[in-house]
């Protein structure tokens, strides 16, 4: 029997799914191992193999594809553990990365708590130290014409100084190089001649040939900063897989919504940042196609964070720029918003206000929540869930980990003594605060983008999502919550990797003014398409397995905001270009309000983009209908914060439920890796894909 294996690493847990040729999914969840994430990778696969009654080497010998969502690059940036990197740029532009976007950089990507403490805020530590930034004499103008020759002697002197200083990686980004890359290419050649073998090199005109000096610089610098550590990690995974019998290709999830080869991930690791949350959203797209849902709020609550993404008309929303550690960088990603509200989020009394607050700090995987019994004493959301009665102390992670209720109570008591509240009152407050924060985050994410959350369906996944997200829905006036594929929801991002296609994406900036020449635009698209299609064929995809999507970023001439809209395939004519402009105007108005546009100023096409994907083997999510009715295993008292009191609550075993069964709230469904909470007055039906579809408010 052949298998697909997919592993996703998070801040608290490492998840894996093993899928056989019939579509049967086996889930695995282990603690992440921050000291060496590869240990968690293989621990998760080993657990998945054991559930199939296989040794790990037996599983891998029969595996066709291993795919991986990695957090190594993300962690290196957040924890400041990248390498000693240098930046070579145009003389006079050496301070771009330090000036950033002025004062706004102080609050970029910060939590609301940090923004409110603005007086204590500062710019982030530099990715590249100022002494490692080198200006070289050269100049290309905004038309792509060379106006100052490249001073090769200066470049060679810089390269020799870098060699003496034993830098690990070098980023090259010159002004306007996306229009003429000849100087960057020559600099790269000189660096290769002068630097030791193995020095990581990356240039902006190859990585992201787009307009936007600061964001392009940071993307290239980040790529250099995390390049060597990502390369070392992927080599370790590849070697470990080979030693255990796997002879196939390792695919790596990218934050843009597809997978890429391990070789590409080593060369462009910046594209792996936040790839785990992106995988979950791609999994939602795969499921929504089968359920015929068009507008989805993807809500992923894990141990460390709460991640939100939107799908409209069945497609994930993407964004051209992203922020990590306050640095805005230019890589188009699936649009994900994260807040520090996970199962491990720490509750504490705010020193300024004297009020209870939750997050963004997390207890992480080690020591974890107080109830884990690993030495942690800070009260967390998981401790609150345990005291409220949602979690069974003997059934956590399928019974593999016992939860110590007395330690959770002691942790809550420490705060309760300060606030004059009982441990249960503190726990209820923690639950309500984290629920309100998540609801507010979703509200901002939808309304700020011109969407009405009442017209969306909530997909709840991650280890803590099925327990908490149903409580969010009434605050958003959302009618339906879907917990995808039962227990698989707890490892949904890992399954999302397996539902991702092999993706090549290329964006090219060359600002043109309307009226747009259809022939010229067609030729520009086809040049990109031909190149990316050839690369996919080299990966083994046939022509009928390749899909092409075109997009263009437009703006009004007198305004700065760009909006991405789809462009038809094939040879374009004037009516196609008119339709593209019309789509831009309608979408601009949806985003910024009626009358925000300025049609009289004219239009500019700033960037064109091609997404060329190769279709991969996907899991079969459909399940057979079950006979009989849902029968509760037991009953317990749960303090439902929405009711303000304890209620007798039926408890069901997820392994005993199946498609066609219904469960009425208040109820709890215990699964190996998650708990589904069905609030009072709500109904739940299990559909043919084993999804738990919760009708908020019942019929």
Question: How crowded is residue 10: how many other Cβ atoms within 10 Å of its Cβ?
Answer: 27
Q: In this model, does residue 103 exceed pLDDT 60?
A: no
* Average pLDDT of every residue of the chain: 90
What pLDDT sits at residue 118?
59
Could you tell me the CA-to-CA distances from 65 to 4, 150, 394, 620 in Å, in that order?
5, 46, 35, 16
In whole angstroms, what is the distance from residue 685 CA to residue 662 CA? 4
Residue % of the chain over a pLDDT of 70: 96
Dihedral sign for Cα 630, 634, 635, 638, please.
negative
Of 121, 199, 145, 211, whose CA–CA distance to 173 is shortest? 211
Sorted by sequence, the CB contacts under 8 Å of residue 339 that are 6+ apart come out as 111, 305, 306, 359, 360, 437, 438, 441
If DSSP codes are grouped into helix, strand and coil, which group holds residue 368? Answer: coil
Q: Residues 388, 379: contact at Cβ < 8 Å?
A: no
What pLDDT sits at residue 363?
83
**pTM score:** 0.89
Q: In this model, does residue 107 exceed pLDDT 80?
A: no
What pLDDT sits at residue 635?
93
Query: What's the CATH class of domain 3-76+232-272?
Result: alpha beta
In whole angstroms, what is the distance from residue 565 CA to residue 562 CA? 10
If DSSP codes are grouped into helix, strand and coil, which group holds residue 592? Answer: helix
When comparing pLDDT for 597 and 269, which is higher? 269
Q: pLDDT tens for residues 360-415?
A: 888 877 788 999 998 888 999 999 999 999 999 988 877 778 899 999 999 999 99
What pLDDT sits at residue 664?
94
If DSSP codes are grouped into helix, strand and coil, which group holds residue 448? Answer: coil
Return the structure tokens found at 594.
């009626």
Every domain of the chain and the residues it spans: 3-76+232-272, 80-222, 345-432, 504-614
**Length reported for the chain:** 699
End-to-end CA distance of the chain: 44
The second-level CATH assignment, the architecture, of 80-222 is 3-Layer(aba) Sandwich (3.40)
Q: pLDDT tens for residues 355-372?
A: 999 888 888 777 889 999
What pLDDT sits at residue 116?
61
For the CA atoms of 586, 589, 595, 598, what is the dihedral angle to 10 degrees?
Answer: -70
Q: Which string of b and e fits 51-83 if b means at least 16 CB within 10 Å?
A: ebebebeebbebbebbbbbbbbbbbbbeeeebb
Helix axes 152-164, 182-194, angle to 10 degrees: 40
Q: pLDDT tens for residues 655-698?
A: 899 899 999 989 999 998 899 999 999 999 999 999 999 999 86
In whole angstroms, what is the distance from residue 31 CA to residue 366 CA? 9
Mean pLDDT comparison of 101-110, 119-128, 181-190, 393-402, highest-scoring range: 181-190
Confidence of residue 597 (pLDDT cuts 50, 70, 90): confident
Confidence of residue 105 (pLDDT cuts 50, 70, 90): low
Going by their DSSP bridges, the two strands 13-20 and 25-31 should be labelled as: antiparallel
In whole angstroms, what is the distance from residue 25 CA to residue 9 CA? 18
What pLDDT sits at residue 222?
95
Q: pLDDT tens for residues 138-181?
A: 999 988 899 999 999 999 999 999 999 999 999 999 999 999 99
Mean pLDDT comparison of 508-517, 613-622, 625-634, highest-scoring range: 508-517
Angle at 231 between CA 229 and CA 234, to 5 degrees: 110
Q: In this model, does residue 699 exceed pLDDT 80?
A: no
Q: Please give the CATH number for the structural domain made up of 504-614.
A: 3.30.1490
Q: Which residue do the tokens 């100052």 mark?
A: 148
């Amino acid at each position: 029997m052949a298998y697909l294996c997919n592993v996703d690493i998070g801040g608290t847990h490492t998840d894996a799914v093993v899928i056989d040729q019939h579509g049967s999914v086996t889930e695995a969840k282990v603690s992440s191992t921050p000291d060496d994430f590869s240990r968690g990778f293989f621990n998760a696969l080993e657990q998945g193999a054991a559930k199939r009654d296989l040794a790990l080497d037996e599983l891998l010998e029969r595996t066709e594809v291993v795919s991986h969502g990695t957090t190594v690059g993300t962690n290196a940036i957040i924890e400041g553990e990248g390498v000693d990197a240098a930046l070579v740029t145009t003389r006079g532009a050496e301070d771009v990365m330090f000036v950033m976007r002025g004062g706004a950089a102080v609050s970029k990507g910060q939590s609301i708590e940090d923004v409110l403490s603005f007086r204590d805020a500062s710019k982030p530590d530099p990715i590249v130290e100022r002494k490692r930034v080198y200006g070289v004499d050269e100049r290309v103008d905004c038309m792509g014409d060379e106006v100052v020759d490249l001073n090769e002697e200066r470049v060679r002197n810089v390269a020799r100084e870098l060699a003496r200083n034993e830098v690990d990686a070098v980023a090259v980004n010159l002004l306007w190089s996306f229009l003429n890359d000849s100087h960057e290419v020559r600099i790269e050649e000189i660096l290769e001649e002068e630097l030791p073998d193995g020095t990581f090199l990356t240039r902006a005109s190859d990585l992201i040939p787009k307009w936007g000096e600061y964001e392009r610089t940071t993307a290239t610098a980040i790529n250099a900063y995390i390049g060597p550590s990502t390369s070392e990690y992927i080599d370790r995974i590849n070697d470990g897989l080979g030693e255990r019998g796997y002879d196939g290709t390792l695919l790596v999830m990218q934050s843009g919504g597809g997978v890429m080869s391990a070789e590409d991930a080593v060369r462009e690791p910046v594209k792996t940042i936040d790839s785990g949350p992106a995988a979950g959203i791609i999994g939602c797209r795969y499921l929504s196609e089968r359920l015929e849902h068009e507008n989805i709020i993807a809500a992923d609550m894990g141990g460390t964070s709460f991640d939100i993404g939107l799908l409209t008309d069945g497609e994930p929303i993407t964004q051209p720029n992203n922020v990590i550690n306050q640095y805005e960088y230019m890589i188009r990603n699936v649009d994900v918003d994260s807040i520090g509200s996970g199962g491990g989020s720490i509750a504490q009394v705010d020193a300024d206000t004297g009020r209870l607050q939750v997050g963004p700090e997390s207890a992480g995987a080690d020591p974890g929540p107080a109830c884990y019994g690993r030495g942690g004493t800070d009260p967390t959301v998981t401790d609150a869930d345990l005291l409220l009665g949602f979690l069974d102390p003997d059934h956590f992670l399928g019974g593999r980990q016992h939860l110590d209720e007395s330690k959770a109570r002691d942790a809550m008591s420490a705060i309760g003594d300060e606030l004059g509240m009982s441990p249960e009152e503190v726990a209820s407050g923690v639950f309500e605060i984290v629920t309100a924060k998540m609801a507010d985050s979703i509200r901002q994410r939808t309304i700020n983008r011109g969407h009405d959350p009442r017209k969306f369906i909530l997909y709840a996944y991650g280890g803590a999502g099925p327990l908490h997200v149903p409580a969010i829905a009434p605050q958003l006036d959302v009618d339906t919550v879907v917990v995808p594929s039962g227990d698989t929801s707890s490892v949904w991002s890992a399954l999302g990797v397996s539902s991702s296609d092999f993706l090549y994406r290329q964006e090219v900036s060359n600002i043109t003014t309307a009226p747009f020449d259809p022939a010229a635009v067609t030729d520009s698209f086809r040049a990109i398409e031909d190149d990316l299609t050839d690369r996919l064929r080299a990966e083994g995809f046939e022509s009928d397995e390749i899909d092409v999507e075109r997009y263009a970023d437009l703006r009004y001439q007198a305004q700065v905001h760009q909006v991405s809209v789809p462009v038809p395939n094939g040879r374009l004519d004037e009516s196609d270009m008119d339709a593209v402009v019309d789509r831009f105007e309608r979408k601009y108005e949806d985003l910024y309000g009626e009358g925000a546009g300025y049609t009289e100023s004219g239009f500019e096409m700033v960037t064109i983009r091609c997404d060329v994907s190769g279709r991969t083997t996907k899991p079969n999510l459909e399940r057979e209908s079950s006979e009989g009715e849902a029968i509760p295993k037991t009953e317990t008292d749960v303090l439902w914060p929405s009711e303000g009191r304890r209620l007798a609550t039926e408890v069901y075993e997820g392994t005993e439920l199946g498609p066609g069964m219904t469960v009425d709230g208040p109820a709890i469904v215990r699964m190996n890796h998650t708990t589904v909470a069905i609030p009072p007055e709500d109904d739940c039906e299990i559909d043919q894909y084993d999804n738990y579809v919760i009708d908020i408010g019942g019929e």
